[in-house]
Amino acid sequence: MSNFRINKKSKKSKARVGGLYTKHGVVKTPFFLPIATRGSVKTVTPEELQDLGAEIILTNTYHLYLRPSLSVIKKARGLHQFMHWSGPILTDSGGYQVFSLAKSRKINEKGVEFHDNLSGQKHLLTPEKAIEIQKTLGSDIMMVLDECTPYPCPKSYAKKSVELTTRWAKRCRTKYQELRTKNNVSRDSKFKVQSSWLLFGIVQGSVYKDLRLKSASDLIILDFDGYAVGGLAVGEPVAKMYEVLDWVLSSLPVDKPRYLMGVGKPEQIVEAVKKGIDMFDCVIPTRNARHALLYKFKIQSPKFKMEVQNSKFYEEIHIKQAKYASDMRPLDPHCDCYTCQNYSRAYLRHLFMGGEPLALRLATIHNLRFFLQLMYRLRIFIKNGKL
């Protein structure tokens, strides 16, 4: 029995709604993962995340391995207990740091050598070690170690990178199976799924169609629990990102979850859902909140669907602008988050202009609610045949 079930497919697009079954609960798809890189979504408690509607979060293997360290997390009996989060956790393998820390790492067949920028200590992150770390963290969904290529990227380099990523994926799969056998992991009677922890492959290949299709084909043979599309939203034109998605999604199994890593803007999420993506993560809602950029739906449901189609269903509010200095309206009178229910635009602007930490907290709460509410509405529209 699969860990992923599709409950309804759209007749207007390739969108679908379903459920992803994990040891720590069922996540309704399509969904958005708030990013808790170091075991924390900045300024927001795990309890507040649940109240906002988050069912699953993303944490980062690389950062948690360095600090607080695996010994600390072991003592806490896993990341769930350490950060007091009861829902599912997806852990990034550290592959993105291979991309973002290009000046301080070396890639070879074994894995990635890098230096801790604080202690100066040298580390080697291998595919096997990435899986072992994620197992120690208690991840519900593990990601294979991959190399995320930059944009632009010569095809010769992208080809070598894809081949390396595939070899690493095979090693991750072998280690994963070894740990499952060692821990006697089998069907979970509560959720009736195949495994209490899942492993996803990551399709790479830059913007080259043949490389993307080869990457997908090689990973499908390994029969992962789900498939991510990586190496996008790294500087390429949005139109090219959509084109790459079309190539890849046409070749991936329809009965496995699809994860678009690092995306994105609200209109990009809508477009990707229509193409058949089930999972998203991005720093946009939290990072932009800390920079005083907030989101608001223009039209409330049920008319919201009309605006989704032309990508103008929301507006960006730059709350530091002088026009909000005496604006006593809530940020969004229709939003049910704590921020909108209790504070005015004028007060939010006042907090930001004064450098008050509360500004970051209230803005983050609202932006997360916006993104999670967007996913809820998209699920409703698909179920009702409107998307």
* Catalytic residue numbers, as ranges: 92, 281
Give the Cα separation of 27 and 20 in Å (integer): 5
Q: Amino acid identity of 251?
A: S
Residues sharing a CB contact under 8 Å with residue 15, sequence separation 6 or more, in sequence order: 9, 30, 273, 274, 275, 276, 378, 382, 387
Angle between helices 266-275 and 238-249 (to 10 degrees): 20
Give the Cα separation of 53 and 338 in Å (integer): 13
Please spell the DSSP secondary structure of 210-266, one letter per residue.
HHHHHHHHHHHHH--SEEEE-S-SSSS-HHHHHHHHHHHHTTS-TTS-EEETT---H
- Burial of 251 per CB tally in 10 Å (0-12, 13-18, 19+): middle
Residues sharing a CB contact under 8 Å with residue 56, sequence separation 6 or more, in sequence order: 22, 27, 31, 33, 87, 88, 89, 90, 140
Rounded-to-10 torsion of CA 108, 111, 102, 96:
140
